[in-house]
Amino acid sequence: MIKSETMSKPEKMDVKLDPSAWHGQGWEGLWVEHVAGDVYRVDNIPFYAYGMSSEDEVVARRSEGHLIFEKVSRHRGHSTYRLIAKSKNGAKPNLAEIEAGIKSFGCSFEGMDGRLYAIDVPPGADIHGLYRWLEGGVSRDDWDFEEGHYGTSP
């Protein structure tokens, strides 16, 4: 990723979540970089928030010292998926195999707790191959997955 000289240093933006969802979280902190005015660029992969992906431009406002997400202003073509690896018969998931699988489709990821992966699918990556691979893991009961955002080309 090429960063513009006009971009500021990354800061956290709070995104309100539904705490009754599977993750139980009320907020997610996403790293963003200021673009202009009240517009920021998402600088990491959302683990829980829906409807946005890495590189998207969002509108945020300041409230009591916190940057609060308001809306997506421009999608940049990235998609977001989440994979939750399962333990089987007391054995831990094969994280190296999962990570290699994600990378093989031209995607990157961030991991949490050794079993939750936020997957970034950049424009041009094999999103359909990734989706089939994710479905295969579900059918083998290796993991569950969900779509956080399906990106369209900018």
Number of domains the chain contains? 2
Both 41 and 97 in one domain: the answer is: no
**Last-in-domain residue among 74, 95, 112:** 74
Q: Say what the pTM is.
A: 0.89
Query: How many residues does this entry show for the chain?
Result: 154
Do residues 64 and 24 share a domain?
Answer: yes
137/84 same-domain check: yes
Residues 101, 87 share a domain:
yes
112 and 70 both lie in a single domain: no
Determine the pLDDT at residue 19. Answer: 94
Instruction: Flag whether 3 is in a domain.
Output: no
pLDDT at res. 152: 75
Kindly state whether residues 58 and 90 are assigned to the same domain: no
| Segment holding 137, helix H or strand E | helix 127-139
Tell whether 124 is covered by a domain: yes
Residues 15 and 64 in one domain: yes
90 and 145 inside one domain: yes
Residue written as token pair 């961030």: 110
Q: What is the mean pLDDT of each run of 10 residues along the chain (154 residues)?
A: 59 96 94 97 96 97 94 96 89 90 97 92 96 96 95 72
Q: What is the predicted pLDDT for the residue at 1?
A: 43
User: Has residue 2 been placed in a domain?
Assistant: no
Are 87 and 136 found together in one domain?
yes
Range of 142's domain?
A: 79-149
Same domain (yes/no): 41, 86: no
Residue 85 lies in a domain: yes
